[in-house]
Structures are given as C-alpha cells and as structure tokens.
C-alpha cells in the first residue's frame, strides 16, 4: 500500500542533496571545528558555509546565525536568554495564547521564577490583533514573542506590524517562532523587523537534531549552555557538524524553491479543502481563510473523535495528526483550538493535515475519496450523531 504522509509537521524526508552534504562529516572529516590542526579545516569550512546559507535564507549576516539543537531550543534560548540577560530592566513578557509549547512552557517556567507573563488572545481565525499587543506593553516589558505561523491552524500573523508597534512603544525585544513557517513562506528578518527568530530545518527537508536561531547584532541574551566559544559564545558544546552542514543545504534549497513550493502546495491544499467540505456535512475548516500557510489544514469533523479517525486513515495508508484530547499524551485537547473558541467536544474531532513536497494532487484525491467512508463508519458508531439524527427527524 502506498503511504501518504500528510503529517509533515512531524517529519519531512531529507533531500538527497542534504544527505550528501552531511555524509563526509561522519567518517572522513570527523574533526572538531575548534581544533587548531588540519583535521578541523573541513568541518570548520562546513560550519561557515552552512551559516552563510542560513543567513541568506533569513536575509541576515552570517554572524547573526546560531545553530542550536532544535526549534524548541531556539525558542527557549530567545525567551530564557532574554529573561536572564534583562531581568534588571524588567520581568514582563508577552506571548500569544496559541504559541508552541516550547514557548508557553518556557514562560511558565519563568513565571515560577517571578517573571510576569501576559498571554494575548486571538480571534476566531487565530489572528493576534497588533493593538492588543500594544495595549499589553508595559515599562517593564522585556520581550514579546509571537509565532510567525501556527503549527496547528496555519494562520500567519502580522509580525511586521507587531514588531513595529513593539519597537515604537517599548524597549522590549521582539522574537518570532518561525519553526513552522520557515522554508515555506518568506522569513526575511529585515522585512519582519524582528530581533530574534527560531527556525527548524527538519521541517523543510533538513536533518533532525539542529535548529536555527537568528540573533540581531546588538541584542543581548544569556546563553543557556555555558562552556566554550562555539556559536559566538551563545551556545557552547561541540558542533553537530553533519546536521549543520545538512541544515545549510536545506536553507539554500528553501531560498531557491520558496515560490515553487507554494505553487506546488496551493492546488493540493485547495483540492483537499473543496473535496472535504464538499463531500461531508458538519465539517469545517479552522484558521484564517486567506492568511494561512500553503501546507497546513485543520478541520473539525463533528461527532467523532480524532484518534479513531487517525487510526482508520492510517489503515488506508494516510498519515495525519489530530489535536483531540485522546491523541494527546496529556489527554488535553489542543490549546490552540480552545483559544480560537472551538468547543472541547468539537475539538475531539480535530483533523490536522500538513503537506510537503512528496504530496501530489493524486494524494489529495485519494484522501478525499477515503475520508467519507471513515467518517461515516465512526459516525454510525457515535451516540452524539445518533442524537443529532433523531433531533433532525423530529
């Protein structure tokens, strides 16, 4: 059976070019880039090259790019790094309600240490109103961190406007979590006007085990890992040279292919939306109708639960995710869905699709053909659906 990956936010397949770039640094050029002798030469070169490739994707300078271990680490570095470096200036941090857990749990940890956190609500599309950020700013606000695009509902935020407001009205740093958007829409740091940005190459055909962090020149943060002078002293520890080399190539490919990627993904996304909404009743799409990523879709299928839907689709070779409570390891339904006002019972029917370059229009057609059977089978089993059917009859 053909396997269709509709869960690219979990993992993307590395590009052959990426793997090729990594290969030499496992067995032949295994040196430590920080050594003085010849063994360090090639690995050091590889780091420099990758830094340049990443800088070009972000429109930054090479010495503004730091390689971390993951997108989550980059978020932690932005938030805790700023908090620890600037606690003499204030202890107030602003985030949105729909941030990734690596942001929300980082500020939660800081709150335990005496920092104050404001969580900005979003509207029903998941958009942050820049005016709400303005109103939340205080004299002692040291950081504003708002995601560039939601990893669940795909809504893209107006980071440019938010950043402008933050800088005009406060001394706070502006960070954006671009772990989901980078590689698929423009993440030009100058255009966005931000101080820090997180990105995750494994989300755009790079290797796992490395993250990107943009730190604008002059922005002061405290490292989370102290030790040697690696990564300009901002992240100690021997560099993961193969992964960084691979990440560099993933960045180069992203810059080159950004427009083509959108052009490839949009028709697939469109077919899925019209196919799903056209073939099933009581299903709706979450997130912003226009301001959304080309590679994400989030549906609520009423009266059934996400895990059982996911297991049936899995049976048919289609890999998807869900924000339902039953699929979550902590048995809580998605905080993003609740922030946009989706009732917890409906959030149970959450269906999360994330597309990538290996998907095609045929995949979309196959999915649209298979989904109604799965949904109807589960609805026939659902006491909620039974109630609704009876009500409609009366």
Could you give the residue numbers annotated as active site? Answer: 326
Selected range binding another protein among 101-109, 223-231, 279-287, 298-306, rule: CB under 8 A:
298-306
Whether the CB-CB separation of 74 and 68 falls below 8 Å is answered with yes
Contacts of 256 (CB under 8 A, 6+ apart): none
Selected range binding another protein among 103-111, 138-146, 283-291, 383-391, rule: CB under 8 A:
383-391
What's the min distance (Å) between Cβ of 338 and another protein?
A: 12
Nearer to another protein, 34 or 316 (CB): 316
Residue 334 interacts with another protein (CB under 8 A)?
no
Torsion of CA 212, 215, 217, 220, to 10 degrees: -140
Residue 311 interacts with another protein (CB under 8 A)?
yes
Please report, for residues 57, 103, 159, the alpha-carbon distance to residue 190 in angstroms, rounded to integers and kept in the order given. Answer: 11, 23, 11
Select from 75, 308, 354, 359 the one that contacts another protein (CB under 8 A).
308
Residue 341 interacts with another protein (CB under 8 A)?
no
By CB under 8 A, how many residues form the interface with another protein? 27
Select from 77, 304, 318, 351 the one that contacts another protein (CB under 8 A).
304
Nearer to another protein, 173 or 312 (CB): 312
Question: Facing residues of 182 across strands?
Answer: 185
Residue 386 interacts with another protein (CB under 8 A)?
yes
393: Cα separation from own chain's centroid:
44
How far, in Å, CA of 137 to CA of 115, rounded?
Answer: 15
Residue 7 interacts with another protein (CB under 8 A)?
no
Nearer to another protein, 64 or 305 (CB): 305
Residue 266 interacts with another protein (CB under 8 A)?
no
Tokens 């922030």 locate to: 339
Residue 260 interacts with another protein (CB under 8 A)?
no
Residue 348 interacts with another protein (CB under 8 A)?
yes
What's the min distance (Å) between Cβ of 55 and another protein?
A: 39
Whether the CB-CB separation of 382 and 304 falls below 8 Å is answered with yes
Residue 314 interacts with another protein (CB under 8 A)?
yes
How long a stretch of residues is the chain?
Answer: 394
What's the min distance (Å) between Cβ of 56 and another protein?
A: 39
Select from 1, 3, 229, 331 the one that contacts another protein (CB under 8 A).
331
Dihedral pair phi/psi, residue 198, rounded to 5°: -110, 140
Could you tell me which of 172, 171, 169 has the C-alpha nearest to residue 146?
172
244: Cα separation from own chain's centroid:
19
Selected range binding another protein among 105-113, 128-136, 253-261, 379-387, rule: CB under 8 A:
379-387
Question: How would DSSP label each residue in 167-211?
Answer: HHH-S-EEEEE-TTTBTTB---HHHHT-SEEEE-GGGGTS-SS-E
Select from 75, 333, 334, 354 the one that contacts another protein (CB under 8 A).
333
Residue 70 interacts with another protein (CB under 8 A)?
no
What's the min distance (Å) between Cβ of 304 and another protein?
A: 7
Selected range binding another protein among 10-18, 38-46, 68-76, 376-384, rule: CB under 8 A:
376-384
Residue 354 interacts with another protein (CB under 8 A)?
no
307: Cα separation from own chain's centroid:
22
Residue 376 interacts with another protein (CB under 8 A)?
no
CB half-sphere exposure, 213, CA atoms < 13 A: 26
Strand ranges in the chain using DSSP code E only, listed in sequence order? 4-5, 65-68, 92-96, 116-120, 141-147, 173-177, 196-199, 211-215, 283-285, 296-301, 318-319, 350-354
Select from 345, 358, 362, 373 the one that contacts another protein (CB under 8 A).
345
Could you tell me which of 74, 79, 73, 123 has the C-alpha nearest to residue 98?
123
* Interface contacts to another protein, rule CB under 8 A: 303-305, 307-308, 310-311, 314-315, 324-327, 329-331, 333, 344-345, 348, 380-386
């Amino acid at each position: 059976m053909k396997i269709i990956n509709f869960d690219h936010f979990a993992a993307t397949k590395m590009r052959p070019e990426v793997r090729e770039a990594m290969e030499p640094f496992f067995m032949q050029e295994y040196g430590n880039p920080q050594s003085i002798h010849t063994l360090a030469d090639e690995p050091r070169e590889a780091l420099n090259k990758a830094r340049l490739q990443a800088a070009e994707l972000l429109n930054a300078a090479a010495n503004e790019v730091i390689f971390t271990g993951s997108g989550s680490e980059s978020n932690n570095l932005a938030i805790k790094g700023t908090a620890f470096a600037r606690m003499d200036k204030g202890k107030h941090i602003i985030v949105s309600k729909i941030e990734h857990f690596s942001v929300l749990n980082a500020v939660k940890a800081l709150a335990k240490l005496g920092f104050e956190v404001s969580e900005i609500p979003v509207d029903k599309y998941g958009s942050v109103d820049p005016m709400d950020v303005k109103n939340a700013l205080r004299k002692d606000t040291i950081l504003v961190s708002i995601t560039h695009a939601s990893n669940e509902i795909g809504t893209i935020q107006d980071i440019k406007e938010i950043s402008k407001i933050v800088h005009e009205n406060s001394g706070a740093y502006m960070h954006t979590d671009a772990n989901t958007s980078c590689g698929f829409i423009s993440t030009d740091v100058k255009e966005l006007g931000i101080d820090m940005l997180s990105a995750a190459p494994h989300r755009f055909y790079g290797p796992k085990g490395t993250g990107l962090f943009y730190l604008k020149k002059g922005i002061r943060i405290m490292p989370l890992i102290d030790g040697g002078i690696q990564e300009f002293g901002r992240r100690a520890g021997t560099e993961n040279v193969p992964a960084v080399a691979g990440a560099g190539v993933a960045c180069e490919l992203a810059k080159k292919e950004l427009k083509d990627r959108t052009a490839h993904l949009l028709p697939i996304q469109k077919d899925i939306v019209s196919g799903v909404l056209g073939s099933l009743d009581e299903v709706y799409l979450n997130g912003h109708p226009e301001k959304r990523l080309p590679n994400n879709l989030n549906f609520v299928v009423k009266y059934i639960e996400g895990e059982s839907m996911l297991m049936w689709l899995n049976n048919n070779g289609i890999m998807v995710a869900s924000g339902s409570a039953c699929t979550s390891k902590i048995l809580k339904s998605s905080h993003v869905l609740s922030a946009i006002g989706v009732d917890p019972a409906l959030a149970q029917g959450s269906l999360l699709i994330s597309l990538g370059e290996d998907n095609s229009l045929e995949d979309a057609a196959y999915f649209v053909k298979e989904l109604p059977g799965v949904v109807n089978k589960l609805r026939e089993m659902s006491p909620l659906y039974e109630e609704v059917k009876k009500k409609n009859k009366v």
